[in-house]
Amino acid sequence: MPTRRIVLIIVAIAIAVAVYEGAQHRSAKGTHPGAVDSPAAAFNLQDLDGKPLSLSDYRGKVVLLNFWATWCTPCRGEIPQFIDYQNKYGPQGLQLVGISMDDDAKPVHDFYQQFKMNYPVAIGSAGLAESYGGVLGLPVTFLIGRDGRIAAKYVGAVELPVLQQKIESLLSSAR
């Protein structure tokens, strides 16, 4: 019987540790890079025209940060709507920022002109993608609230009505 008691004690300890670890994991919401409710990672880049582009320039605005590439079909499909969002919601405090994950700036610059993009675009890096939790596929879109925290993350082509509703909600929240 002592062996059975030892086994039961070990099982009880294992269960207690598992419950504790699970509670720790749930309470850590928003603590890893790119997680909803975590601070958006700061960056300092140059846009396609060589001008400084920094996330901190948009503090107090709602930022739609879109990781994309010219060769990505779903990305190309979202861009016209993003241009419309910048036109419609820009005066209310929305700022779009595109981070192209293309290897070369030339096709991005050509794409930018062809689509008449009306928001800043910069060439991203693996380090920047990692600071947002890793961008393993494209597109990946983050909505960043006026407080600089990630309010939503969309992996893959975003459902535009869902995105628009979230944008409107963030714009109408406390300024």
Question: Do residues 1 and 16 both lie within one domain?
Answer: yes
- Tokens representing residue 106 in the block: 């030339």
The answer on 41 and 78 residing in a single domain is yes
For the chain, the domain total comes to: 2
Does 97 share its domain with 121?
yes
Q: What is the pLDDT of residue 49?
A: 94
Task: Say whether both 24 and 45 belong to one domain.
Answer: no
pLDDT, one tens digit for every residue, the chain (175 residues): 577 777 666 755 656 555 555 544 443 445 789 999 999 999 999 999 999 999 999 999 999 999 999 999 999 999 999 999 999 999 999 999 999 999 999 999 999 999 999 999 999 999 999 999 999 899 999 999 999 999 999 999 999 999 999 999 999 986 5
Q: Specify the pLDDT at position 23.
A: 46
44 and 11 part of one domain: no
**Predicted local distance difference test score (pLDDT) of residue 26:** 41
Angle at which helix 160-172 crosses helix 73-89, to 10 degrees, equals 30
CA dist., res. 65 & res. 32, Å (int): 18
- CATH no. for residue 163? 3.40.30.10
User: Does residue 105 sit in the same domain as residue 38?
Assistant: yes
Prediction pTM value: 0.82
CA dihedral sign, ordered 3, 9, 15, 17:
negative
Same domain, yes or no: 20 and 39: no
Contacts of 106 by beta carbon, 8 Å cutoff, 6+ apart = none
Residue 11: domain span: 1-30
d(CA 162, CA 69) in angstroms, rounded, equals 22
72 lies in the same domain as 152: yes
What's the pLDDT at 6? 75
State residue 5's pLDDT score: 76
- Same domain? For 57 and 96 the reply is yes
Do 12 and 57 fall into the same domain? no
